[in-house]
């Protein structure tokens, strides 16, 4: 069953999501299905999405709902726990982490106020597991002033993400932008309509490769990049295996 078919057939608690989000979830969350995942959703609404995540991730998943509304506590059931507090309150978030551990996945579907979602992201993202996924949805509010947004407004989370694209590429900025913790711990950023997804990961030393016919040349370059076997690499970069010169 896909998440979309679950939503269409849902006769349990109410789910409130835009339809185009469902394939996005499948694309980025699929590898966590049936794993002992710790999944945090900021914003419980009427509790339906928490039940959907429980069904989707399977019997080993720990589904953690965060909401400012104390009434959400009633959504507690097997595999689903609710923590009441404000997403912008980092002491509260630390308390949640202390209790549930480091999350594999965070979905921010909370207040959608720019300073709130930035506070949650700044606090939670660096703490996540190295293959964690952080998804912020309903980012149409980034363009709405009642949510502290507005086109090109620097408080707007989309604008913050544009700067993070530069941080992701800092290694190639020729020293103009020093690499950060974000650079070192982020594999990818994905932009969709109203949704941004961050995929964490660690990179090994970065360098370009060429594969195919000029293999000796590649081997020489790789060795040079790695700083090993200089005498060998000098020889192999100037001559091919049959002794003729290569470019």
Q: Does 110 bind ligand SAM (CB under 6 A)?
A: yes
Q: Does 81 bind ligand SAM (CB under 6 A)?
A: no
Q: For the CB of residue 118, give the shortest distance to ligand SAM in the complex, in Å.
A: 12
Among 7, 10, 15, 170, binds ligand SAM (CB under 6 A): 15
Q: Does 79 bind ligand SAM (CB under 6 A)?
A: no
Q: For the CB of residue 92, give the shortest distance to ligand SAM in the complex, in Å.
A: 9
| Interface with ligand SAM: number of residues (CB under 6 A) | 21
Q: Does 108 bind ligand SAM (CB under 6 A)?
A: no
The residue (of 86 and 177) whose beta carbon lies closer to ligand SAM is 86
60 is catalytic: no
Q: Give me the catalytic one of 20, 112, 172, 190.
A: 112
- Which range in 3-11, 60-68, 153-161, 180-188 contacts ligand SAM by CB under 6 A? 60-68
Among 51, 79, 111, 233, binds ligand SAM (CB under 6 A): 111
Q: Which residues contact 79 (CB under 8 A, 6 or more apart)?
A: 54, 59, 61, 62, 63
Nearest residue relative to ligand SAM (C-beta): 45
Whole-angstrom distance, CA of residue 114 vs CA of residue 61:
29
Whole-angstrom distance, CA of residue 125 vs CA of residue 114:
16
Q: Give the rounded distance of the alpha carbon of 100 from its chain centre.
A: 19
Q: Does 116 bind ligand SAM (CB under 6 A)?
A: yes
- The mark string for 26-55 relative to ligand SAM (x by CB under 6 A, - otherwise) is ---------------xxxxx--xx------
Among 40, 67, 82, 83, binds ligand SAM (CB under 6 A): 67
Residues that bind ligand SAM (CB under 6 A): 15-17, 41-45, 48-49, 66-69, 86-88, 109-111, 116
Active site residues: 112
């Amino acid at each position: 069953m896909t998440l979309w078919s679950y939503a269409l057939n849902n006769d349990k608690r109410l789910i409130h999501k835009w339809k185009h989000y469902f394939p996005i979830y499948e694309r980025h969350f699929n590898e966590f299905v049936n794993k002992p995942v710790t999944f945090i959703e900021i914003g419980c609404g009427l509790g339906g999405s928490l039940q959907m995540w429980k069904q989707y991730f399977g019997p080993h998943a720990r589904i953690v709902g965060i909401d400012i509304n104390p009434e959400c506590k009633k959504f507690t059931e097997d595999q689903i726990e609710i923590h009441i507090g404000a997403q912008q309150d980092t002491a509260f978030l630390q308390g949640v982490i202390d209790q549930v551990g480091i999350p594999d996945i965070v979905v921010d579907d909370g207040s959608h106020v720019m300073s709130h979602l930035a506070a949650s992201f700044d606090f939670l993202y660096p703490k996540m597991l190295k293959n964690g996924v952080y998804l912020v949805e309903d980012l149409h509010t980034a363009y709405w002033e009642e949510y502290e947004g507005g086109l090109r407004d620097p408080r707007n989370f989309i604008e913050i993400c544009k700067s993070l694209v530069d941080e992701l590429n800092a290694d190639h900025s020729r020293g103009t932008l020093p690499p950060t913790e974000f650079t070192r711990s982020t594999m990818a950023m994905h932009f969709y309509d109203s949704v941004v997804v961050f995929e964490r990961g660690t990179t090994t030393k970065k360098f370009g490769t060429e594969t195919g016919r000029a293999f000796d040349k590649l081997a020489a370059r790789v060795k040079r990049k790695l700083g090993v076997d200089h005498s060998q690499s000098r020889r192999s970069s100037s001559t091919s295996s049959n002794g003729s010169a290569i470019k």
